[in-house]
Amino acid sequence: MLQYSEHIDLPDHEISVIGRQYMSKRHDIYYLKESHMASSRNRLIITDTYGEELFSCKEEGNKMILYDDFNKPILNTYVDGNAFVKEIYIYAGEECKEVISKVKLNSHYDDDIQNYTAVFFNKSTKSNETLNIVYNRLKDSYDIFSSKRMNGKPDKVIVCEIKKTNLYKVFSKKHSIELPSLVDYVYMFALCIGFMRLNTSRNIITSKAKGSRYIAREGFNAFFK
């Protein structure tokens, strides 16, 4: 039976970044994993809780393009191939022209607890908004916080959790993305892809710098190791 995280809560407003057509209507969990189709150039896919493929991803240089089920590009996440880079850019479509969101690491990349901020224009509130994101290395998870007023006072609630799932299960999914209603799930997919790509770039470059014999698999698939 599917179990939801109790600490994830509703925001007090719609979080619409990519488009209101991608607004979650209920509490749900999605999965980001490798595509096992040998003929597919899209190395990653996003499925629902029942395993149905909803979106696919393809790597092009330093960016990862997210496609809908009609193979139309929605957005791309860009991470510079630098071990010390601290920023993720999310652009509309395939090109790196129209910036949708900028994500910045505000702590050291070796810290066990890392703090990020994600800035974007909220299409529902018609204003700029910032989400605070906390990465816990021990749990290998990202908690995404939104501001909310509770009992008349400013507070924060977790509106999304991104984490690795059990890799010891043969048919395990790789990363789960859990969120409540009123949240733009495609934007959360973009954040997940960006974080995984950021970590992969650092791991590959750091390993090479240390003279490691580690050889990454081609492209972005390395983050599943």
Residue ranges per domain, the chain?
A: 20-224
* Contact between residue 174 and residue 162 where contact means Cβ atoms under 8 Å apart: no
Mean pLDDT highest for which of 40-44, 169-173, 197-201?
197-201
CB of 142 closer than 8 Å to CB of 162: yes
pLDDT digits (tens, 9 = 90+) for 128-173: 999 999 999 999 999 999 998 766 777 899 999 999 886 545 445 5
- The token pair at 33 is 């994993």
Partners of 76 in beta bridges: 65, 91
Q: What confidence tens digit (pLDDT) does each residue in 57-77 have?
A: 999 988 999 999 999 999 999
CA 28 to chain CA centroid, nearest Å: 15
What is the per-residue pLDDT for 204?
A: 65
Phi, psi of 48 (to 5 degrees): -85, -175
Paired residues of 175 in beta bridges: 32, 164
**What residues have CB less than 8 Å from 166, skipping those under 6 apart?**
172
Q: What is the gyration radius of the CA atoms in the chain, in angstroms?
A: 17
Mean pLDDT of 77-104: 90
Confidence of residue 177 (pLDDT cuts 50, 70, 90): very high
pLDDT digits (tens, 9 = 90+) for 102-129: 999 998 888 999 999 999 999 999 999 9
Instruction: Enter the tokens of residue 168.
Output: 């010891």
Looking at residue 165, its pLDDT comes to 82
Confidence at residue 215, expressed as pLDDT on a 0 to 100 scale: 41
- For the domain covering 20-224, report its CATH number: 3.20.90
pLDDT number for residue 213:
46
pLDDT at position 180: 97
- How sure is the predictor about 212, in pLDDT bands with cuts at 50, 70 and 90? low
What confidence tens digit (pLDDT) does each residue in 183-195 have?
A: 999 999 999 999 9
Q: What are phi and psi of 68, to 5 degrees?
A: -85, -175
